[in-house]
Amino acid sequence: MDFFDRFAIPNPSIAIYASMVAIGLTVVAIIAGLTYFKKWGYLWREWLTTVDHKRIGIMYLISALIMLFRGGVDAIMLRAQLAVPDNKLLDPQHYNEVFSTHGVIMVMFMAMPFIFAFMNYVVPLQIGARDVAFPRLNALSFWLFFFGAMLFNISFVIGGSPDAGWTSYFPLAGNDLSPHVGTNYYMMAIQISGIGSLMTGINMITTIFKMRAPGMTLMKMPMFTWSVLVTNLIIVTVFPVITVALAMGTMDRLFGTHFFATTNGGMDMLWANLFWVWGHPEVYILILPAFGLYSEIISTFSGRNLYGYKSMVASMVIISALSCMVWAHHFFTMGQGALANSFFSITTMMIAVPTGVKIFNWLFTLWKGKIRFTVPMLYSLGFIPLFVIGGVTGVMLAMSAADYQYHNTMFLVAHFHNTIIPGVVFAMLAGLTYYWPKMFGFMLNERIGKWAFWLLSIGFCLAFFPMYITGLDGQARRMYTYSEATGYGPLNMLSFVGAGVMAISFALIVYNVYYSVRYSPRNIGADPWDARSLEWATHTPVPEYNFAIEPHVASSEAFWDAKKKGHELFPGKVEKIHMPNSSGVPFIMSAIFFVFGFSMIFSLWIPAIISLIGIFACMAHRSFENDHGRYISVKEIEETETKLRGVN
Amino acid sequence: MSELFPRKQIMGFVFSLVLTAAALTVYFLHLSFAQGMAVLLITAFVQALLQLVVFMHAGETKDKWIIYGKVYFMIAMALITVFGTLLIFLWDM
Ligand code: HEM
Ligand SMILES: [Cu+2]
């Protein structure tokens, strides 16, 4: 039995056993359901092997939503534990595991796939392309992300979860202080999904540079596409850093190297350094596509073109460069001198300038606009003031001398949630509501959506504003409890209430999906929001080839011009269309990656070697494969077009 | 005949072997740490550029500015990372 001991949970509790049972039952239910309804073939043909950017986008979206709930449950547990002084709900070890997985899941497995969902779904449509540049690679990216996420999620029922924080600082994350396998999960799962992100970066850059519709020069691209381009430039620049850092960390933990050890010439601080060389640009990777979505939404619902297009682009490019020059602001207190700290203080504060430019551009877009208060617009309007608060507290943190006081307190926690929730999460929910009709052919209910927005905003303020105060009073982050004498009790209770309100809001969003599936009208046409860019110029549901005729573009709002100024979007006639074939290899290869990661985590060398050979075999298969794609004939296109035109 | 002969590729291949051999000398020639690092850094960067230009065909299309633009951006960011790290850990710790 020794062999199986390693899979046991080091710190079991009732909750974990209950979730084991729940996971087991869910898996059985899914398998039984698929078998009963004979859906295995459908699942394999239409989803698991697809290379269609729209379907991949939808799969990213579903995964992100599921992870949002997993991370949300973690969050509620954390707030519940802190709600009253000297609480015994979670023991310290369990608390450590929960905040570590909460952070990793929200950043890597919720926010990242969410932005990838919109990148995948929207960018090819917005630039008038038929798919991304490398559709098969795109599928591989998705499945690597997916299996990475699954690997991370099984950690809390098999072997134990990471407990060294989402930043996983050494020496705490080293074998001496974190002996169980949790941190191995961290290293392998993020590594696997990170490789996927890197590939998406290359794929999207190539797509945007090479596949734009005729007439769409770089300065005529819609703002969301611009934001995606800049984001992916950052991805390609900084993801290699985390890849290498994780590989070094893995070697320290599994093979006894001393990169981040405190002995034998190792340097533990180097991990923090490398982590933030990636980590700070990573927060901009999340926020820039959100900015892009807000730009689209604000200009659509103000009925105006985006104010200051050029300055928007310039500020994003400046942000992309600056974001790689500020990383040390995450460890001002690590011991480097005043010179280094001052340098990074100044670069950090400089980022606030281009960000401010963008805020003013949105305000000027709203100025004298005919504003429609739809749900996506509400999120965008809520974003502006709330995000400004996050930015201002960021500048406070950026003063390195003052940061000695703020660092690692709840003040910091309040700051980054204040940027990430109104910045990223609001954008994702706004984008979800905005693109929902394009993806699924009906709208989400506006009334329920507005309730959800208000509850989320109020819940957010209740949950996070108190933390600014307790943080300034000295409440440290990542502490599993505090004594009554500190006086933190009432404000933490308020935070817990706020978290509860946010949970209700998310439940409402789920209910909204259910409600709208049942009751929403289906004959909404292809352009329900009266929008401006190309993605709304094709049918709903979008045919697999996106556009029967390649669009010709003369401005960044080609569709608006076509509607209002009679610009001819689709000159030319239908020709046969070349499309890529589906393939099961990305799925299989990623599944093998999962086995590889799992074997590495538990130091099962033989399966690890075998699966590594499997991975190379998949790559070799691809190299020697002869696959020239297929053609959709003119007749078939015309049939589809008439059918879809009937719908609208 | 001379058009068919892949001159550029063969030369590139030979040159990349030379660079590899040059890097290998660091191991055999008991150089000081600084000298060794200098040789390794220079050969590594030249090698990377060589691969990019000769074997990955950067610069053979009209929009080559995109590829070179990205390369310059990455090099700039990499240098900032390295010098920033040196500032933190060596020059000002
Ligand atoms: C004006 C812009 C911003 C400035 C000046 C700023 C500044 C800072 C500083 C100085 C810290 C480190 C504080 C400490 O550890 O004591 C920090 C932490 C953080 N910021 Fe910001 N920030 C800004 C915008 C953002 C945005 C847009 C995001 C995300 C979308 C973000 C996410 C984070 C996160 C996640 C952390 C903490 C991570 C951790 O330690 O766990 N920040 N910020
Ligand atoms: Cu930062």
Q: Which pLDDT belongs to residue A607?
A: 96
CB A282 near ligand 1, within 6 Å = no
The answer to whether residues A197 and A275 belong to one domain is yes
The DSSP code for B29 is: T
Note whether residue A131 is domain-resident.
yes
Give the residue from A6, A25, A48 where a domain finishes: A48
In whole angstroms, what is the distance from residue A108 CA to residue A190 CA?
A: 7
**Which ipTM did the prediction report?**
0.86
Do A345 and A399 contact (CB within 8 A), yes or no?
Answer: yes
The answer to whether residues A132 and A23 belong to one domain is no
The structure tokens listed for B31 are 């150089």
The predicted-structure confidence for A475-494, as pLDDT tens digits, reads as follows 999 999 999 999 999 999 99
Residue range(s) defining the domain that contains residue B75: 61-93
Q: Is the pLDDT of residue A648 over 50?
A: no
Nearest in space to A593 (alpha carbons), one of A142, A23, A110, A99 = A142
Distance from CA of A289 to the nearest CA of B (A): 20
CB A420 near ligand 1, within 6 Å = yes
The answer to whether residues B4 and B48 belong to one domain is yes
User: Whose Cα sits closest to atom 2 in ligand 1?
Assistant: A391
The answer to whether residues A42 and A55 belong to one domain is no
Half-sphere exposure of A548 (CA within 13 A, CB side): 20
Q: Work out how many domains chain A is built from and give that number.
A: 2
Q: Which pLDDT belongs to residue A523?
A: 83
In chain A, % of residues over pLDDT 70: 99
The three-state DSSP-derived secondary structure of A208-253 is: HHHCCCCCCCHHHCCHHHHHHHHHHHHHHHHHHHHHHHHHHHHHHH
Helices and strands, counts by H and E, chain A: 22, 2
C-alpha A603: how far from chain center: 30
In chain B, the residue whose alpha carbon lies closest to the alpha carbon of A208 is: B66
Mean pLDDT computed over every residue of chain A: 93
Give the pLDDT mean for A517-530: 90
Q: Which residues of chain A neighbour B71 with C-beta distances below 8 Å?
A: none
Do B12 and B50 contact (CB within 8 A), yes or no?
Answer: yes
The answer to whether residues B26 and B39 belong to one domain is yes
The answer to whether residues B4 and B34 belong to one domain is yes
Subunit contact A267:B66, Cβ cutoff 8 A = no
Stated as kind and residue range, the H or E segment containing A438 is helix A426-440
Instruction: Report the nearest atom of ligand 1 relative to the CA of A331.
Output: 15
- Number of residues assigned to chain B: 93
Do A445 and A512 contact (CB within 8 A), yes or no?
Answer: yes
In chain A, % of residues over pLDDT 90: 80
Q: Is the pLDDT of residue A525 over 50?
A: yes
CB A416 near ligand 1, within 6 Å = yes
Classify the phi-psi angles of A160: left when phi > 0, otherwise alpha if psi is within -120 to 50, otherwise beta.
Answer: left
The structure tokens listed for A481 are 């409890």
The answer to whether residues B24 and B9 belong to one domain is yes
The answer to whether residues B39 and B77 belong to one domain is no
The answer to whether residues A29 and A127 belong to one domain is no
The answer to whether residues B65 and B49 belong to one domain is no
Report the residue among A348, A415, A420, A467 best suited for mutation to probe ligand 1: largest number of ligand atoms under 8 A from its CB.
A415
The answer to whether residues B11 and B46 belong to one domain is yes
Total-model pTM: 0.93
Q: Is the pLDDT of residue A135 over 70?
A: yes
In whole angstroms, what is the distance from residue A220 CA to residue A223 CA?
A: 9
The answer to whether residues A135 and A199 belong to one domain is yes
The answer to whether residues A30 and A136 belong to one domain is no
The answer to whether residues A20 and A86 belong to one domain is no
Q: Is the pLDDT of residue A646 over 70?
A: no
The predicted-structure confidence for A595-642, as pLDDT tens digits, reads as follows 999 999 999 999 999 999 999 999 999 999 988 889 999 999 998 888
Q: List the CATH number of the domain containing A558.
A: 1.20.210.10
Note whether residue A618 is domain-resident.
no
Q: Which pLDDT belongs to residue A313?
A: 95
Q: Work out how many domains chain B is built from and give that number.
A: 2
Q: What is the largest CA-CA distance in chain B?
A: 62
In whole angstroms, what is the distance from residue A545 CA to residue A541 CA?
A: 11
The answer to whether residues A24 and A117 belong to one domain is no
The answer to whether residues B52 and B83 belong to one domain is no
Note whether residue A120 is domain-resident.
yes
Note whether residue A617 is domain-resident.
no
Residue range(s) defining the domain that contains residue A26: 15-48
Residue labelled with tokens 């952070």: A103
The answer to whether residues B51 and B22 belong to one domain is yes
Helices and strands, counts by H and E, chain B: 3, 0
The answer to whether residues A44 and A176 belong to one domain is no
Provide φ and ψ at A392, rounded to 5°.
Answer: -65, -45
More confident residue, B39 or A10: B39
Residues of chain A that touch chain B, judged by Cβ-Cβ distance less than 8 Å? 205, 209, 233, 236-238, 241, 267, 269-270, 273, 277, 321, 324-325, 327-328, 334-340, 343-344
Q: Which pLDDT belongs to residue B2?
A: 64
The answer to whether residues B14 and B48 belong to one domain is yes
The answer to whether residues A27 and A128 belong to one domain is no
CB A397 near ligand 1, within 6 Å = yes
The answer to whether residues B25 and B39 belong to one domain is yes
The answer to whether residues B45 and B73 belong to one domain is no
CB A358 near ligand 1, within 6 Å = no
The answer to whether residues A42 and A155 belong to one domain is no
The answer to whether residues A313 and A415 belong to one domain is yes
User: Whose Cα sits closest to atom 42 in ligand 1?
Assistant: A416
